[in-house]
């Protein structure tokens, strides 16, 4: 095996608190075999902090494109918060990019869906236009070298092992 510790890491992931069994049939990731470079961006979060994808080079980054009016986006947000708790402990990043809405709309959304991972604002949709997004939500897993490794189109239970094991395996590739 290429990484002897990967089995132990996967087992620990499966046993981690907060991870749940996934609903059947929805927990797939599509590998992007050619691993194209992830388009860099510079976006502000709700606290006014600037985030650039390139600032996270060396980490696996989950990049989620979403909107407040999107039912599957709202449905997956609580699982993303649970996943965020695990991702932070494993030196990975989660960035949720709201598309086409303003700060007030996103802030109002957080009253019903509280999260503490960065919610970035792509108010003019300039970032989403450079990414291979096919509907909302679309989520990408970016590897440690800044390449698109996986894509998920549609909502997912992001706290499920089926989705986090590939992210952890990418982290171990460094």
Q: What is the mean pLDDT of residues 28-44?
A: 96
**Closest Cα to residue 161, out of 3, 9, 30?**
9
> Can you give the pLDDT at residue 22?
43
| Residue boundaries of the structural domains of the chain | 37-172
> Can you give the pLDDT at residue 173?
87
Measured CA to CA in angstroms, residue 40 lies from 54, 133, 163 at distances of 6, 15, 23
User: Is residue 128 within 8 Å of 99, Cβ to Cβ?
Assistant: yes
Q: What is the mean pLDDT of residues 154-167?
A: 93
Assess whether pLDDT exceeds 80 at residue 24: no
The pLDDT tens digits for 93-117 are 999 999 999 999 999 999 999 999 9
Tell me which residue has tokens 């606290």. 47
Please state the CATH superfamily assignment of the domain spanning residues 37-172 in this structure: Glutaredoxin (3.40.30.10)
> Can you give the pLDDT at residue 77?
97
> Can you give the pLDDT at residue 26?
60
> Can you give the pLDDT at residue 11?
43
Assess whether pLDDT exceeds 70 at residue 9: no
> Can you give the pLDDT at residue 128?
98
Measured CA to CA in angstroms, residue 53 lies from 15, 61, 147 at distances of 30, 8, 11
Assess whether pLDDT exceeds 50 at residue 20: no
Question: What pTM does this model have?
Answer: 0.86
Report the distance separating Cα 104 and Cα 43, nearest Å.
Answer: 16
């Amino acid at each position: 095996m290429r990484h002897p510790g990967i089995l132990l890491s996967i087992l620990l992931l499966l046993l981690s608190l907060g991870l749940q069994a996934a609903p059947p049939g929805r927990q797939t990731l599509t590998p992007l075999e050619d691993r194209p470079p992830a388009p860099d961006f510079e976006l502000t979060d709700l606290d006014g902090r600037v985030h650039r994808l390139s600032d996270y080079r060396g980490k696996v980054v989950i990049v989620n494109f979403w909107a407040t009016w999107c039912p599957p986006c709202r449905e997956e947000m609580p699982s993303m918060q649970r996943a965020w708790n695990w991702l932070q402990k494993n030196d990975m990043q989660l960035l949720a990019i709201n598309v086409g809405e303003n700060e007030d709309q996103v802030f109002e959304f957080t009253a019903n869906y509280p999260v503490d991972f960065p919610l970035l604002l792509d108010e003019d949709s300039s970032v989403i236009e450079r990414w291979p997004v096919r509907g909302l939500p679309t989520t990408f897993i970016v590897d440690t070298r800044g390449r698109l490794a996986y894509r998920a189109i549609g909502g997912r239970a992001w706290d499920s092992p089926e989705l986090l094991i590939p992210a952890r395996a990418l982290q171990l590739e460094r």
